[in-house]
Amino acid sequence: MAARIFLLFTLGYFLSYFYRSANAVLAKDLSQDLGLGPAELGLMTSLFYLSFATVQLPLGSLLDRYGPRIITPALLLVAALGSVVFGLAPNFPTLALGRALIGVGMAAALMGSLKAFSLWFPKNYATVSTLLVGLGATGGLLAATPLALLKEVLGWRGVFLAGAGVVVLVALLLYLGVRNTPPGVPWPRGQGVGSLGEVLGNTRLLRVAFLGLAFTGSFLALQTLWAGAYAYTLGLSAVQVGNFLFLYSGMAVLGFLISGYLADRFGTPRVLVLSASLFGLGLVLLLLKLLFPAYFLLGFFGAFNILTLTQARDLVPGHLVGRGTTLVNLFGIGGTFLLQWGVGVAVGAWGYGWAFGGLLGLLLLALLLYLPLLRSRW
C-alpha cells in the first residue's frame, strides 16, 4: 500500500512538472500561431505560477482538514479542464485562462504529496520526499526533446488535448487508490489549528521564503520558458533547444535526488548558500552564451532550491508545518510568476542581458539576507 501511495502521488507531481515546463519548447509555436510578443508570452506562461501561488495558503488548510486523497484529485480535474481550454484557445485571453486553470489544478500535486508522506513515511520523510521530487522532475525531461518530437506529430494543441485525458486518469487513480493515513492510524487531531500570524512573524522563515522567491523563481522561470526562448534567439532548432532543456531538466533530476543527502550531511544553510551561488555562476555563463556549462549548472544546482521547503519544516512548530511550508512555497511559486513575467518585460524593453542580470542581482540580495542563518542554530 505504501508503495502505491508513493507511486500515485509521484505521477501527479510528474504531470505538474511537465505542464509547468512545456511552454519552453512550445514558445516559438505559441508566438507564431497566436501572435504573442515576449511580454505576452511571459505573462501567459507565468499565470500558471500566479494561480498556483494564489491557492497555496487556503490549500494548506484544506489539506489539513480533508486530506490529500480528496483535495489532490479534485484539483487535478481543474487542471484537465485547463488543458482542454489551452489546447482549443483561439486567442491570448483564452490561452491565458487555460494556463491559469492548469496552475490551480496542479497546486496540490507537491503539497498534497508532502502532506500524505508526513503520515505514511514519518521516519524517512526527507528521503522519500526528495525521491518524489527527483522522480517527479523527470516530467521536465518529457517536456524537452520528447515534447519537441511529439508536437511535430500531434501539434501543440493535440499535446494539450491528449494531456487532459492523462490528467483525468491520474486523478481517478489517486481517488480510488490512496488513503489519507495508513491502516489503523487515525487522522491527526487538531489539524488546521494555529495562526498564520505566527508564521508571518517568524523572521528566519521569511529569510528562507525570500531566498525561495529569488532561487526557486529564477530556476523555474528559466526552465519553464526563458531558457528555451533564449536559445531560439541564438538560431537553434526546436530539437536543439529541446536537447539543451533536456540537459537542464536532467541535471535538475540529479540535483533533486542528491540535495537532501548533502543537506543532511553538511547542513541545509551551507548547502543552500553554495548551490545558490553556483546557480548564480550559471546565470553569468548564460549571459556569456556558454550554453552547455550554463544549463548544466542552472539545472543541477538550481534543483537545490527544494531545500527551502525542507528547511521550512525545521523553523516552525509541528502544528504550523503546513502553513510554514505553504508560505515558503507561496514565495517560490509567486516569485516564479513575477520573474517569468518580469523577464518578458525586460527582454522586450532592454534585451536578455538586462533580464538575466536582474535575476542575478535579486539572487545575490536574497543570499545576503539569508546569511545570518548560517550562524544560527535551529
378: pLDDT strictly greater than 50:
no
Dump strand ranges (E) for 41-110. Answer: none
Q: Among the listed ranges 129-143, 184-198, 284-298, which one has the minimum average pLDDT value? A: 184-198
- Mean pLDDT confidence for 225-242: 89
192: pLDDT strictly greater than 60:
no
Q: Which of 20, 120, 122, 109 is nearest to 71 (CA)?
A: 109
* C-alpha cell read off for 111: 503539497
Tell which wins on pLDDT, 155 or 117: 155
Q: Do 196 and 317 form a contact (C-beta atoms < 8 A)?
A: no
Q: Do 154 and 166 form a contact (C-beta atoms < 8 A)?
A: no
* Tens of pLDDT, residues 54-80: 888 788 778 877 889 999 999 999 999
Q: How far is CA 151 from the centre of its chain?
A: 23
- Mean pLDDT confidence for 274-278: 97
* Tens of pLDDT, residues 111-135: 889 888 878 887 777 678 778 988 9
How many domains are there within the chain? Answer: 1
Question: What is the structure's pLDDT at 196?
Answer: 64
d(CA 189, CA 65): 10
d(CA 40, CA 59): 28
Question: What is the structure's pLDDT at 188?
Answer: 66
d(CA 11, CA 372): 38
Q: pLDDT grade, residue 164 (50/70/90)?
A: very high
Q: Among the listed ranges 81-95, 230-244, 312-326, 336-350, which one has the minimum average pLDDT value? A: 312-326
Q: What is the CATH number of the domain that holds 331?
A: 1.20.1250.20
Q: How many CB atoms neighbour CB 367 within 10 A?
A: 18
Tell which wins on pLDDT, 78 or 241: 78
- Mean pLDDT confidence for 94-112: 94
Q: How many CB atoms neighbour CB 237 within 10 A?
A: 12
Where in the sequence is the domain holding 332, given as residue range(s)?
2-375
283: pLDDT strictly greater than 50:
yes
372: pLDDT strictly greater than 50:
yes
pTM (predicted TM-score): 0.79
Question: What is the structure's pLDDT at 67?
Answer: 87
Q: Do 63 and 74 form a contact (C-beta atoms < 8 A)?
A: no
Question: What is the structure's pLDDT at 268?
Answer: 87
Q: pLDDT grade, residue 21 (50/70/90)?
A: confident
The 10 Å CB-count burial string (b at 16+, else e) for 14-51 is bbbbbbbbbbbbbbbbbbeebebebbbbbbbbbbbbbb
Q: Which residues contact 189 (CB under 8 A, 6 or more apart)?
A: none
In the chain, the percentage of residues whose pLDDT exceeds 90 is 51
Question: What is the structure's pLDDT at 263?
Answer: 85
- Mean pLDDT confidence for 227-244: 90
